[in-house]
Structures are given as C-alpha cells and as structure tokens.
Amino acid sequence: MDEEAQARVEIWKYALGFNSMRAVKCAIELGLPDVLENHGGPMTLSQLSATVGCPIPALRRLLRFLTHNGIFKKELKLSKSQDPESSYYSQTALSRLLIRDKMATFVILQADPPAVQCIGLTAKDLKAGKGSGLDNRFPSEDIIWNVEVDAAFDKLLHEFLACYAKIATAALIDNCPAVFEGIGCLVDVGGHEGTAMGMLVKAFPWIRGINFDLPDVIAGASTIDGVEHVGGNMFECVPKADAVMLMRILHDWSDNLCIDILKKCKEAIPADTGKVIIVEAVIDEEGGDEYTSARLAMDITMMTVTINGKERTCKEWAQLLNAAGFSRHTIKHMKAVESVIEAYP
C-alpha cells in the first residue's frame, strides 16, 4: 500500500473511531468478555448468542469487527464445513481487560459520556483558553466541563475509579515496593472509598492507612482492616502522617491549584523524614516507551473533560514541586501508564 492509500485508511480510522469504541462498549454491555472468562474456554456463536441473549446475525457482525481488531480470537474447529458452529470464539489479552472488574467501565465512560454535546474538544473552547492553564479565563475550576451527570453515570464513574485503583495500585505494589519501606502512617488523598489503601496495608502490613476524601464520599465507604476513613477537603487541610499519597489526583487541576494541594500535603508530613508519593503519568516528549501513546491520549481526554487538567512532563512536574516548596524529588518509571514521583520537603 502506498503512502497516500495508507493515509486514507488512517483517516477512516480516526473518523470512525467513536463508532468503533461503541462496538467495544456493546460487547462489554452484552457481557461477552465476562461470559467467555467464566466459561473457561472457547464458545461457538450459538452458545454466545444463547448466553447473552443477542440474535445470531447481529452478534456475528459485532464479533466479525471485534475479532478483526484483536479484541477476541476466532478459530476454526477441525471441520471443512462453513457452518457457524465450525468456529469458536475465545479470549485475548485485550478482551480479558474488558471484564467488569478491570477496564470495562473506563471504556464505557469514554464511548458514551453523558451530555456528550456539552463535552468536547472544540476550536471555540481552545480559543477561549480551555486547556491553556489560564485560570482567569474561567469563572470556576470545576473538573467537568459544563456537564451534569445522572445517578447512573455517577455510579458507573465510581465503579471505574475503584477498578482503576486496583490496577494502578497492583502495578505500584509489584514495581515499587521500596517506596513504602519505613512508612508507619500513610494518607491517601482523594482515595474515594479506600480501594487503594486497603490493598497497600494488606501488601505492607506495617502501614497504618488513612483514606482521606470528601465527607459525602467517606460516608459511603465500607470498613477496611487497617484503614481509617477520614472526611475533609484537601484544599483546606490534610491529615498528619509519615507520608501522603496522591494517585491520579493532580492531573484534574490547574498548576496553581496543584501547588495549593501540594503545599497542604507538605504541611502534613514531617519536615525531616516525610515524603509525598505522587502516582501520575509522566510524558516524555522526546522519545517515550510503549505507554507513551496511552499517556498522550489521556492528556487529550483531560483537555476534553476538564478545564485546566493535564498530564505533565518531567519538567512540568519539577516546576510544580519547586513552586510548592519541595527541596528534591525522584521519578521511578513502572511498566504502566503511571510513574511514581517521590517528593521531599
């Protein structure tokens, strides 16, 4: 294929990308990844149709698209027949991430956001200063850009946050256990219902965990062994501890508000032995790794759904931490979208 023909193919992919994502969303809502996972092996088209309650013709078309794009795998049985029952469908590494307790809710949120007409990345918004970091262009620092969500979406969002916390925390535990050595008490700022902190105190039982979030969020949190739930506002005060963790919190906010948050975290830790642990994406503009595309795509998402949130480069993180009064910091990269930044008073 020549260069122009390849370019046309890529334009088609970009133009139809939203509908492609909705096809993946349909697969999740039908429960196809979970059905195959629970079945423990390949299934025929008729078996899948009967299990998820979707007519065979429509399901065949959906699976045709999904298998072509590597979401599922289609294999022929030892038969020369063209009957649909001569082939079966099985999981791939991609589809295993689309079960409900992993990345499924994230895909659903991206494929069909609420009030989609109000969320967007338009030239008009960009000209008005959205995504520029110019705080004075906007009357408020609301995270979501002019959108009201219903109860169903809010529930889905909280499901995603819990699933995301599991994935990010597992990567943190596997790749950077030394980060938590010597910490007696750890506060997770913006920890929602405590999923991450619960995993951390289980992995590192010497830690006494404090899950810190807004009072209405904490009110819905379940009891977790080794974790104290504390309600409050990170812009006002953060509970005292040996270390403070911010996992995917700062990317929601402008530079100025991040500095305010970081200053409150710095006040909460000992000046001689404390540290702030930041778990966020770090963008490499010069080269990058296999996760760079995901980080850049996430940055576009932040530009789309927030006013001044963004994913930051090493230089931008350094500027924030210096402005907040930290004397030094280190960055540890993981085999994940996120890296770990340790900041010291």
3-state DSSP of 56-109? HHHHHHHHHHHHHCCCCEEEECCCCCCCHHHEEEECCHHHHCCCCCCCHHHHHH
Which residue, chain included where needed, has tokens 């195959």?
A: 36
Q: What residue spans of the chain are helical by DSSP H?
A: 3-15, 17-30, 32-39, 45-52, 56-68, 93-96, 104-111, 123-128, 151-175, 195-203, 215-218, 255-268, 292-305, 314-323
Catalytic site includes residue 251: yes
39, 158, 192, 251: the catalytic one is 251
Containing 275, the helix (H) or strand (E) segment is strand 275-283
For residue 221, give Cα distances in angstroms to 164, 179, 321.
Answer: 17, 26, 31
Q: Using only the alpha carbons of the chain, give its radius of gyration.
A: 23
Q: Rounded CA gap, 171 and 338, in Å? A: 9
Structure tokens at 270: 């000992």
Amino acid at 133: G
What DSSP state is assigned to residue 251? G
Q: Rounded CA gap, 261 and 257, in Å? A: 6
Q: How far is CA 152 from the centre of its chain?
A: 19
Task: Give the CA diameter of the chain.
Answer: 73
Amino acid at 95: S
Sort strands 312-313 and 328-333 into parallel, antiparallel or unpaired.
unpaired
Q: Rounded CA gap, 102 and 43, in Å? A: 22
The residues annotated as belonging to the active site are 251
